[in-house]
Amino acid sequence: MKRLLLVGLALLAAAPVTAQRRAPAPPPPPATLTALADEVSEYSLRGYVERLVGFGTRHTLSAQDHPTRGIGAAMRWTEEEFGRISRACGNCLTIAKPEEIVTRPPRVPNPTRIWNVVAIQRGTTDPNRVVIITGHIDSRVTDVMNATADAPGANDDGSGTAAVIEAARVLSRHRFPATIVYAVLSGEEQGLHGGRILANYAREQGWQVEANLNNDIIGNSCGSDGVCDSSNVRVFSEGLRWQGGVEIRGQVRSQGGENDSPSRNLSRYLADLAGDLGLGLDVRQIWRNDRFGRGGDHTEFLNAGFPAVRLSVAVEDYDHQHQDLRTENGTVYGDTVDEMDFPYLRKVTALNVAALAALARAPMPPEPTVEGAVSTDTTITWRGVVGATLGNGHYVVRWRRTNAPQWEHSIRTGPGVPNFRGIHAAGVVIGEADPRAEAERWSFSIRLPHVRVDDWTFGVSSVAADGSESPVASALPGGAFRPYTPPPPAPARQ
């Protein structure tokens, strides 16, 4: 530390010699998360949904080449929309169209081109770290193979698609350290093909995917039984990490971690954020991967080892999804615009926008490990991450009872914390950081005296100099925000 401070002072002392000209005005401070959320427009969301419905059907097996009807026309419109948004921000978006020719009976019986439209907003300082918002553009009616009937798909998933485009419109006016990817997926109803294609694409690009926020059915607030709820959104997350399989299960049995996958911590993060934003929208955390026995595109991200959650309405309306347009015994069926709640869709989209901004501004969560078996103290150790180690960045160590749902206790630590030495004096030992190494090669260690490792779950988040905090990564098997890789084999005993 001392050496680092000396270097900083030396630079300051040299500054007057070289700074002859007036320095350019500093850039304006980044918009607050609340201000970003406020930029989301109900009017433009409605416009996107109505435009999408106007393609008649967006069934994955519908026309690819018709000028105004079918999946092809809808995808071309999406690409044009991203193009328009990109031109407005000085071409800040790169548009990619990852695709596959899929033959997967029974739902894709013949070779079919399935493609996504993806707009990439490159991060300024940490571009390989990626946060992704997704929605699926394809629609369906009662018979999942009916590719010709009108399938408006206003809510499923015109709502999620509209949220993706609106997020691009709002966030492209701002800059973020990490990359934000806005992805409109196809082929969901025929077997989560768009999700798989995008997860493969992310791997091919070598992206470090920190989070996928998958929005599927986010635009209604009343169910067919008259139950209404416009003040909650459900966030679905897996508890035990699926990717890593039996190997993680064995470690979790020994150390714990059934409730501490990165996706579960992402869910906690969204719940906290919603509370802070004051949108009149709370997160109802649903601690299962998806709705009972059902699925969505985020599952393909989880299969690839990428943290992912699904956002969906508090109350589903089964009369107005996956239904032929018809009236039966006085009941109107079909996924139409008039059944939607656009003020509610605005709130859910605003939460997404704030979450993407928060994640992209904050550093990557660290990858802590914990020790303390047969000891009166617990020691948590992690390597430094870019954006939290140098400057005024820092870390927050958190812990909770093993049966507590949310993090309960915390302590801030790191070179950027003003009372760094105070913490040291309070009995917490900070590891010697090596100022010569890159930020991520720094090693931190904190000892919590009189805290027994058996009785608590621990995690660490990273905080940027501007105060943006990452989700917590649990110090448990599979807790890291990257695909699980097996630990190196233990060295052979001598």
User: How far apart, in Å, are the Cα atoms of 405 and each of 217, 282, 481?
Assistant: 26, 16, 19
**CB 382, min distance to Zn ion, A:** 38
Give the strand pairing for 126-136 and 178-185.
Answer: parallel
What are the tokens at 105? 């009976």
Given the complex with Zn ion, which of 151 and 396 has the nearer CB atom? 151
**CB 165, min distance to Zn ion, A:** 16
**CB 137, min distance to Zn ion, A:** 10
**CB 101, min distance to Zn ion, A:** 23
Cα–Cα distance, 330 to 326 (Å, whole number): 10
**CB 216, min distance to Zn ion, A:** 4
**CB 449, min distance to Zn ion, A:** 50
Cα–Cα distance, 417 to 329 (Å, whole number): 66
Q: Are 140 and 114 in contact (CB under 8 A)?
A: no
Given the complex with Zn ion, which of 100 and 216 has the nearer CB atom? 216
Given the complex with Zn ion, which of 156 and 339 has the nearer CB atom? 156
Cα–Cα distance, 191 to 329 (Å, whole number): 32
Binding site for Zn ion (CB under 5 A): 156-157, 216
Sign of the alpha-carbon torsion through 44, 50, 54, 55? positive
What are the tokens at 385? 């991450």
Beta strands in 393-466 (DSSP E): 394-401, 409-413, 443-448, 456-463
**CB 188, min distance to Zn ion, A:** 6
**CB 248, min distance to Zn ion, A:** 29
**CB 209, min distance to Zn ion, A:** 21
What are the tokens at 414? 């790191």
Given the complex with Zn ion, which of 192 and 270 has the nearer CB atom? 192
Given the complex with Zn ion, which of 126 and 156 has the nearer CB atom? 156
Please name the amino acid found at residue 258: E
**Torsions phi, psi for 83 (to 5 deg):** -60, -45
Provide, for the chain, the percentages of residues in helix, strand and coil under a 3-state DSSP scheme, each rounded to the nearest 5: 30, 25, 45
Given the complex with Zn ion, which of 155 and 413 has the nearer CB atom? 155
Given the complex with Zn ion, which of 100 and 335 has the nearer CB atom? 335
Cα–Cα distance, 34 to 179 (Å, whole number): 20
Given the complex with Zn ion, which of 159 and 457 has the nearer CB atom? 159
Q: What is the layout of strands, in order, in the sheet containing 394-401?
A: 409-413, 394-401, 456-463, 473-474
End-to-end alpha carbon distance in the chain: 37
449-460 burial, b at 16+ Cβ within 10 Å, e below that, comes to eebebeebbbbb
Given the complex with Zn ion, which of 190 and 221 has the nearer CB atom? 190
What are the tokens at 313? 């309405």
